[in-house]
């Protein structure tokens, strides 16, 4: 199936994207066209998946463990390459990018994982500044971005804490801050609430929705039915690498 998700401001962008063609339409942020991924050991990640997410869209990807959810996100940020088909993000054919061009695209994609992946012996500020520092941003520019980003995730009072001094929910919000400090137009979250209780999950969801309200295209994998109900956003399901539209 071909699923098209997301909203957009101008009437022009409401025109449907023709199935089975790769688009260069600027209103499209993410497109998978006939994407199959098989791993070298023969296991199947994805099976002929077609999916379009418009700029400014929000999409949940659900499905059982092993269904291909993480594989889908890995293809989008170029950690895996498709065996067949095209993966387009922000106008770039991700599967064909190499070296510097792939690094440049990755700067435009924020990624959040279930297990936060924070650096233990660095403060919250250092954890979120590190990415920009590694990308060659000036000290002044980094400084300018830290406080507003921490405020956005409600952690301005934890700037000098170390990860181990924070709750799981707070650590996940630091990882969100790290993902968005470079203001990427796309945010991918792989089971971001997998280790969190209800209240913390709700807080993370509320930040994702706030970012989406600011124009960020958000794709979230989850098998948390409660989270999906709370969010009231479009949902697709993966089962054995095949994509099905849910709502």
Ligand X SMILES: Nc1ncnc2c1ncn2[C@@H]1O[C@H](COP(=O)(O)OP(=O)(O)O)[C@@H](O)[C@H]1O
When asked if residue 169 is in the footprint of ligand X (CB under 6 A), the reply is no
Closest chain position to Mg ion (CB): 70
Q: Does 243 bind ligand X (CB under 6 A)?
A: no
Q: Is 82 in the site for ligand X (CB under 6 A)?
A: no
Measure Cα distances from 13 to 25, 54, 55, 56, 165 in Å. 8, 9, 10, 11, 46
Q: 170 vs 190, which CB is nearer to Mg ion?
A: 190
DSSP for 84-149, please give it: EEEEEETTEEGGG--HHHHHHHHTTEEEEETT----TTS-HHHHHHHHHHHTT--HHHHHHHHHHH
The entry of Mg ion, ligand X, none that residue 67 binds, CB within 5 to 8 Å by partner kind: ligand X
From candidates 2, 27, 33, 70, binder to Mg ion by CB under 5 A: 70
- Is residue 55 within the footprint of ligand X (CB under 6 A)? no
Cα atoms found within 13 Å of the Cα of residue 82, Cβ hemisphere only:
27
**Sign, Cα dihedral of 41, 43, 44, 45:** negative
Number of residues that bind Mg ion (CB under 5 A): 2
Site for ligand X in 102-161 (CB under 6 A): none
Question: What residues line the site for ligand X (CB under 6 A)?
Answer: 39, 41, 43, 45, 63, 65-71
Binding site for Mg ion (CB under 5 A): 69-70
């Amino acid at each position: 199936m071909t699923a098209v998700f997301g909203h957009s401001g101008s009437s022009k962008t409401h025109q449907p994207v023709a199935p089975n063609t790769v688009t260069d339409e600027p209103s499209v942020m993410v497109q998978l066209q006939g994407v199959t991924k098989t791993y070298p050991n023969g296991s199947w990640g994805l099976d002929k998946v077609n999916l379009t997410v418009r700029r400014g869209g929000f999409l949940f990807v659900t499905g059982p463990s092993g269904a291909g959810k993480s594989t889908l996100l890995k293809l989008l940020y170029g950690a895996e390459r498709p065996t067949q088909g095209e993966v387009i993000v922000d106008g770039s054919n991700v599967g064909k990018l190499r070296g510097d061009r792939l690094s440049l695209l990755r700067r435009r994609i924020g990624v959040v994982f279930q297990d936060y992946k924070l650096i233990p012996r660095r403060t919250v500020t250092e954890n979120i500044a590190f990415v920009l520092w590694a990308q060659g941003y000036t000290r002044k520019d980094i400084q300018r971005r830290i406080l507003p980003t921490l405020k956005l995730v409600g952690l301005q009072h934890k700037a000098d804490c170390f990860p181990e001094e924070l709750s799981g929910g707070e650590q996940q919000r630091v990882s969100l801050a790290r993902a968005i400090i470079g203001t990427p137009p796309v945010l991918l979250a792989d089971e971001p609430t997998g280790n969190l209780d209800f209240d913390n999950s709700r807080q993370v969801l509320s930040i994702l929705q706030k970012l989406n309200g600011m124009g960020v295209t958000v794709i979230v994998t989850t098998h948390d039915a409660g989270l999906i109900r709370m969010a009231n956003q479009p949902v697709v399901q993966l089962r054995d690498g095949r994509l099905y539209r849910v709502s």
